[in-house]
Amino acid sequence: MPDLLVVAALSEALENASAARPLGSRGSRGAVADSDPAELTPTATAVLAAIPAWWRAQATAAGLTGSWLEIETALQAVPPVDVPSDPPLGDSWGALTPEQVGAAYVEALSSATRARHGRHYTPPELASHLWGLARTSLGLPPGKQVLPGLVRDPACGAGALLLPVLREHLHASYDVDPALTLAGLPNLVQGVDTDPAAVWVANVVLAAEMLPTLARVPQKVRRPLPVLAQVGDGLADSGHKARVVVMNPPYGRVRLSSAERDRYAHVLYGHANMYSLFMASAVASLDSEGVLAALVPTSFTSGRYFSKLRTYLGREAGMSAVTFVEDRSGVFTSVLQETCLATFERRRRKKTRISSLGSTQTSIASVKTQRTGEPWVLPRRSDDAPVAAAASAMTESFASFGWHASTGPLVWNRRSADLYPTWGPSRSHVIWAADLDGGVLHRDPARDSMRYMALTAASDPKVMVLDRPAILVQRTTAPEQSRRLVAALLDNDALKARHGRVTVENHVNVLRPTAADPVLTNEAMTRLLATKALDRVVRCISGSVALSAYELESIPLPDPDVVRKWNDLEGGALEAAVAAAYRPEGM
């Protein structure tokens, strides 16, 4: 490929690397080493082809000469494609940082490849923050320290998370014989990934970090630089326990073979998400003082599909710190999903430190480490911290008192042909989320063109119809709405006014008591859902604007005698009583 083309391709890849990158993905867990050259886009190939030139610039800057300037002799790793022996690039590419080289490669993959395998590059700020969290958990003092044991990244990609780790270790090992330092690295830093090209890039950028150390080794005893990343399955048991696992694992649902389902049965409930498999096997691979530091979606802290994972983590390695990444600051534009940096420790800790990371890091609270499969109550803001502390100590919940929540069955765009503006005997009144705004059930005129649904399918009268009193709760609210919890009562009168039956759309949760003698009447429950204190509790459970039926059922409640008293309270008195119930002891 002529120079100019490569330069153009590279700069395009680099530009993209700084633009938005979606982190989420969906796909099935493929075989190991499934990245055949056909998957590499021309740009990705161009990035790979440019690497020998980059290496030459790095090695020259480190003061090395001769064969050490050739990547293929300096590092005993075979490139996944033929790289030109005469590097086509000028000196200007020497100015790229190892992080930029890695980002350029990942960015140059086609978006389909990235999505299918959940490949995404970790921004350097997050990488170093994650290592910082791991260091704190390890109890390493400030300043450069040599690594206390093996640090592994089971989904290392182009090596972003291992760079700060290796960098610190090499700095701290300055006084050690450089040849010994280099020889010892494979026992301390290890990356695994399924993509051979990414593994090669990771090996090159990690080796580039070692160049100054290599330059200090007397010429006669210089050996090729160690290969730290391997092609392999990050979920497989490597046999060696790790002191630290750092990772930004792939996300997304996967279909598992029955053997794998069995292997992960202890952490799976319903759909398997790739990242939960990585979390479980990472914890299993830690030694007795080990620490897992992971950049993962926040969904594992509250989602139903992660309840077994939470129990497992609570038992094996409690969460000692979590940093919520705030997207609104615009610092990490690449992070689309709700994301957090979390550390889990084999050693038993009592408290979880909670903080948020935007343009600066802010500490939020430190609460008791949660260890059950119930959604973990974690305050996202410090003004919610006392409520969260109180709620997390409660053992009762909506579900334990016999309340059952389900999601409205109507997905309107699947039934758009059956939606009408006028009533008819075979039609049912549709309740839209907007009808709950303000906490009182009403009829939002904007939805009137689709107000009634014809019950055409045979199963409709059974599945789509609600003809008993219930409490309706919005399943998702807009960020600008002041409350995350918006509920309205559907009582007998309201049902009668709607011809005795309604059909609830899927942005609304339906909450109904199943116990014969519920602790709260429907009316009192609706009033409870409208209190400020409960809204705060909900904010600590889901963290996002969505509130699933499962999360709704899991809202912690105080003892039944306390709750029963709320039946007779209203307005300010109820507000004060609920606030007093969600108050930490001794306060």
Partner 1 sequence: MRKIITPEEAEHRLEFIFPRAAFDTVLSSPLAGTAVAALIYVDAVCKADDAAETARWARPSTVVWISDAALEHQTDGERLSWRVAALQNSKLVEQLQESWGIPFQPKYRDNTRETLRDETFRAWREHHAIRKRPGIAVNSSKPTWALLDDFADLFDPDMTDDQVREAAQQWRDRHMTPGTKLKAMRAIKAQEAKHAVIVKLPDNTTRTLEPGKSSLIIKGVIEEWAPARMGEPVVLAISEPGDKVHIGDKGTLQSTGIKIDPKDVLPDVLMADVNSDPVTFWIIEAVASDGAVTEGRRKALLGWAAQQNIKASQCSFLSAFESRNAAPAKKRLKDLAAGTWAWFADEPGHELSWYQMFPTADDV
- Should residue 179 be labelled a site residue for partner 1 when binding is judged by CB under 8 A? no
- Should residue 165 be labelled a site residue for partner 1 when binding is judged by CB under 8 A? no
Q: Which of 53, 103, 188, 390 binds partner 1 (CB under 8 A)?
A: 390
What DSSP designation does 118 have? Answer: T
Rule CB under 8 A: which of 505-544 touch partner 1? none
Question: Can you state the angle between helices 98-108 and 196-216, rounded to 10 degrees?
Answer: 170
Smallest distance from partner 1 to CB 383, Å: 4
Rule CB under 8 A: which of 99-158 touch partner 1? 143-144
**CB-based contact 153:190 (threshold 8 Å):** yes
Q: Which of 30, 37, 42, 63 binds partner 1 (CB under 8 A)?
A: 63
- Should residue 91 be labelled a site residue for partner 1 when binding is judged by CB under 8 A? yes
- SS3 category, 289: strand
Q: What single letter denotes the amino acid at residue 94?
A: G
**CB-based contact 518:362 (threshold 8 Å):** no
- Should residue 95 be labelled a site residue for partner 1 when binding is judged by CB under 8 A? yes
Tell me the residue length of the chain: 587
Q: Rounded CA gap, 83 and 333, in Å?
A: 33
For the record, the structure tokens of 422 come out as: 């006028």
CB neighbours (10 Å) of residue 222? 17
Give the residue among 540, 550, 141 at the shortest CA–CA distance from 324: 540
Q: Which of 102, 249, 379, 543 binds partner 1 (CB under 8 A)?
A: 379
For partner 1, which is the closer residue by CB, 489 or 533? 533
For the record, the structure tokens of 275 come out as: 């990242």
For partner 1, which is the closer residue by CB, 163 or 464? 163
Rule CB under 8 A: which of 195-234 touch partner 1? 209, 211-212, 215
Q: What single letter denotes the amino acid at residue 162?
A: L
Q: Which of 11, 76, 257, 363 binds partner 1 (CB under 8 A)?
A: 363
- SS3 category, 75: strand
Q: Which of 97, 110, 333, 456 binds partner 1 (CB under 8 A)?
A: 97
Number of residues that bind partner 1 (CB under 8 A): 46
- Should residue 497 be labelled a site residue for partner 1 when binding is judged by CB under 8 A? no
Q: Which of 253, 381, 499, 565 binds partner 1 (CB under 8 A)?
A: 381
Q: Which of 228, 367, 502, 525 binds partner 1 (CB under 8 A)?
A: 367
The DSSP string of 223-246 is -PBPP-EEES-TTS--SS-EEEEE
Q: Which of 263, 368, 404, 443 binds partner 1 (CB under 8 A)?
A: 368
- Should residue 15 be labelled a site residue for partner 1 when binding is judged by CB under 8 A? no
Exposed e or buried b per residue across 112-140, where buried means at least 16 C-beta atoms within 10 angstroms of its C-beta: ebbbbbbbbbbbbebbbbbbbbbbbbbeb
Q: Which spans of this chain sit near partner 1 (rule: CB under 8 A)?
A: 57-58, 60-63, 91, 94-97, 143-144, 167-168, 171, 174, 209, 211-212, 215, 326, 356, 360, 362-363, 365-368, 379, 381-383, 385-386, 388-390, 393, 579, 583-587
